[in-house]
Amino acid sequence: MYVDGFVFVVSKKKMPAYLRLARTACKVWMEHGALEYKECVGDHLNLRCGRPFPRLMKLKRGETACFSWVAYKSRKHRDQVNRKVMEDKRIASLGAADMPFDMKRMSYGGFNAVVEG
């Protein structure tokens, strides 16, 4: 399995817009072949283990951390699915200005799953 992972900051005021975008994105990715799609909103972030998300992401008052991932069969499958997704009108019509989160504070990467339960 191959997973794309995202961590980003969302203003709590923009959460309804983020959730609308997330629902659309989920529908599009799943229609084009993703195996799994999850959008998660921070709930219990100020833990004493490691570096807490609020400090790592420099969260300001009224912001929260979000984490999402999309699962695929392989990196090749991810590339095929993402090619279709980027051509989909529902995604292609979105511009950076429309994003309800701070694109400059987003991290993204592709990961090989090495242990699965």
Say what the pLDDT of residue 108 is: 92
Say what the pLDDT of residue 76 is: 98
Say what the pLDDT of residue 83 is: 96
**pLDDT one-digit tens code per residue, 73-115:** 999 999 999 999 999 998 877 765 577 888 888 899 999 999 9
Radius of gyration of the chain (CA): 15
What is the arithmetic mean of pLDDT over 59-67? 94
Q: Which CATH number fits domain 2-112: 1.10.10.10, 3.30.70.100, 3.10.129.10, 2.40.170.20?
A: 3.30.70.100
Break the chain into its structural domains and give their ranges: 2-112
Classify burial at 61, counting beta carbons within 10 Å of its beta carbon; exposed 0-12, middle 13-18, buried 19 or more: exposed
CA dist., res. 34 & res. 31, Å (int): 7
Q: C-alpha angle with apex 18: 81 to 24, nearest 5 degrees?
A: 40
Beta-bridge mates of residue 110: 4
What are 87's two structure tokens?
């051509």
**pLDDT one-digit tens code per residue, 1-58:** 999 999 999 999 999 999 999 999 999 999 999 999 999 999 998 888 888 888 888 9
Whole-model pTM: value is 0.88
CA dist., res. 5 & res. 71, Å (int): 9
